[in-house]
Structure 1
Amino acid sequence: MPAPSVTLYDYWQASEVPAPVLERFWSKVAEQENGCLTWQAQLSVGGYGVFCVRKPKKMYAHRFAYELLVGPIPDGLELDHLCRNRSCLNVCHLEPVTHAENRGRTPPKRHCPNGHEYTQENIRTWVKRDGVVSRACRECQHQRARAWRQRKRAVG
């Protein structure tokens, strides 16, 4: 699902949001012991809460909460979850930052999706045509190659 680009201000000023919309929004939020206000409804593929403001328009729930309680997100900035919980709506855990700063704050992944540790020996890196550096887990690549060879032998 592409990132919802609609803002609260596309429909109403924060002070003019209809009560039924606010009730529907806050009914989908649960407070956690660590202070996070966690979205309990639809999540995007990336783990962000998604709120249907007015059909068919959807927006990220943390953006809705921030614009409702703080004000518009400044142009050119995005919200960084200081708590690292993408479904958190607590505006005290959200900070407007540039995309570069937000990416720089993201801790590097220590393991591949299959749980293999990223070490110097177990990682393969290369530069794509567009200049982006990519990496892959060697163990996963070996497992895929073994499975492919076994399938090929079984068929042939």
Structure 2
Amino acid sequence: LYLLSLYPKEQEKAYEEITQVLQGGAIEISHLRQFKYLTNIFKESLRLYPPVGFFAREAKKDTQVRDKLIKKGSGVVIAPWLIHRHEEFWTNPHGFNPSRFEGEYKKDAYLPFGVGERICIGQGFAMQEAILILANILKTYKLELEEGFVPDVVGRLTVRSANGMRIK
């Protein structure tokens, strides 16, 4: 919601998709496959603001990463916040561009729900639920950020704004 309040053209494009898909009807689960741009908006939002900024894993085997050897059993910290904003993986990494998910992108550089055997088991449900909620909000409301408001983004267990979110 925050990003859409900052980017009214993207919000309008989402509204147009919702209007075209619904054609005056109510939102149903069957519409999910048709909400392609809404899906890309949510993916891009998760890229810029992943739910968890970092997570820890243990190396299962000796692994060479560039000039560093990571020994089996070593602790490894994976930081989606940094990976999602790295120029090596993303064009204009700090920009909000939902269209980047229309084509090819480095799927191994996109991990908002984690990675490997401990990936979030609720990711599919979370995606569906968020897209349906987003569609319900955007079909009725135009989002605007309160003038002068700047969120204080903090990474604790989850990434969030310490001073709330002021959207009208």
TM-score over 0.5 (shorter chain): no
Bigger strand share: 1
Give the TM-score of the pair, scaled to structure 1: 0.27
Q: Name which structure has the greater RCO, CA cutoff 8 Å, separation 6+.
A: 2
Bigger helix share: 2
